[in-house]
Amino acid sequence: MTSKGAESEHPSVTLFRQYLRIRTVHPKPDYGAAVAFLEEQARQLGLGCQKVEVAPGYVVTVLTWLGTNPALSSILLNSHTDVVPVFEEHWSHDPFEAFKDREGYIYARGTQDMKCVSIQYLEAVRRLKAEGHRFPRTIHMTFVPDEEIGGHKGMELFVQRPEFQALRAGFALDEGLANPTDAFTVFYSERSPWWVRVTSTGRPGHGSRFIEDTAAEKLHKVVGSILAFREKEKQRLQSNPHLKEGAVTSVNLTKLEGGVAFNVVPATMSASFDIRVAPDVDMKAFEQQLQAWCQAAGEGVTFEFIQRWTGAPVTPTDDSDPWWAAFSGACKDMNLSLQLDIFPAATDSRYIRAAGIPALGFSPMNHTPVLLHDHDERLHEAVFLRGIDIYAHLLPALASVPALPSDH
């Protein structure tokens, strides 16, 4: 097989590579080209296509396969169209060429995060339709912008729109992560991102003097308290082999700001933290803890939230839940080994779950290193194709879940 893709290449792989070549990369994603590509897929597949502009230039594309019983709530298959920036000098191949090597690895930004899943949804639906299947529940595929920079002009706005309510979603699938082992990871919740800026004010003066009560001294105290908490959480994770990263609260000091000159003691200094709060944490108590650390550092030390997410519902994963029973049952039929986890970062699932819709994060990539946001992001074509098979089994199970009390 040649690196450029020989005639024998599977058409689903060819489509995947076409989609990867669309430069939906920040800071200036070509969303127009992605929407046009998706509209063409809708036309070929005979699916309904709706474009919802949630902010100027930010369009959510919804492809719909109507069920035989539209009174039932629908299945929502979500994916995002944008990808993170690249440092081309660190790549072996052009990150937007979708180069395929002799072994079958496809190199491109978005191979894992998450253009693979978008095409797997489409190709699973294509296959099921071609085989003449119809299912009771409607299947909606949503392709959203802006996820990589917070989803504030994407899913966060979309869930508030009447067009989203009209989808009547009962259950959703969204992105997960690759798994280097034989297992497939399934995420049922995620940590809540808190971006906190601590500001310390104190007495200014000349850099040659021992001034009391400086902003720097007080900031040092509060930074010490927060980083001591970080160390405690890190030790908790490392000392318990059963704990996964998503089950503890992570903290990172990401910015230090202040000062005007080498010889001037500043009146104000600040430290910014990226905190990811685990789902089982009492958020009110944690906020009070931040307050206490600031107070203990001295007068004039305050904190503010640049971002604070407090809605971290957990999607049920017990067999009594009909959605989980359908999902895990289909996986069992395929002999897939599932690994349940809490997503360590943030995805659009948080907006979906906060809207009261159970959601699982699932990207069917096993025996695959986690390379999202990395140089040389790549995916093997065999892993990609197997993902289509997996969705072609999952969708009939989910779209055939019998009527539930919540459907009426």
Q: Is 82 a catalytic residue?
A: yes
- Give φ, ψ of 368 to 5 degrees: -135, 125
- Retrieve residue 79's tokens: 């994916």
Closest to 394 measured CA to CA, from 312, 304, 325: 325
Give the Cα separation of 406 and 139 in Å (integer): 17
Asked if residues 97 and 88 have their Cβ atoms less than 8 Å apart, the reply is no
d(CA 313, CA 305): 21
- For residue 243, give every residue at least 6 positions away whose Cβ sits within 8 Å of its Cβ, in sequence order, or none: 236, 237
Give the residue from 399, 364, 400 showing the smallest Cα distance to 384: 364
Which residues, other chains included, contact 165 with Cβ-Cβ below 8 Å and sequence gap of 6+? none
Q: Is 147 a catalytic residue?
A: yes
Backbone CA torsion sign across 51, 53, 54, 57:
positive
The side-by-side arrangement of strands in the sheet containing 74-80 is 48-55, 58-65, 139-144, 74-80, 169-174, 359-361, 184-190, 338-343
Contact 24, 83 (CB under 8 A): yes
State the catalytic residue, choosing from 82, 174, 190, 341.
82
Question: 107, 85, 168, 128: which is closest to 379 by C-alpha?
Answer: 107
d(CA 46, CA 125): 11
Task: Let me know: does 341 contact 181? Beta carbons within 8 Å.
Answer: no
Which of 147, 148, 174, 190 does the annotation list as catalytic?
A: 147
CB atoms within 10 A of CB 198: 24
Residues recognised as catalytic: 82, 147
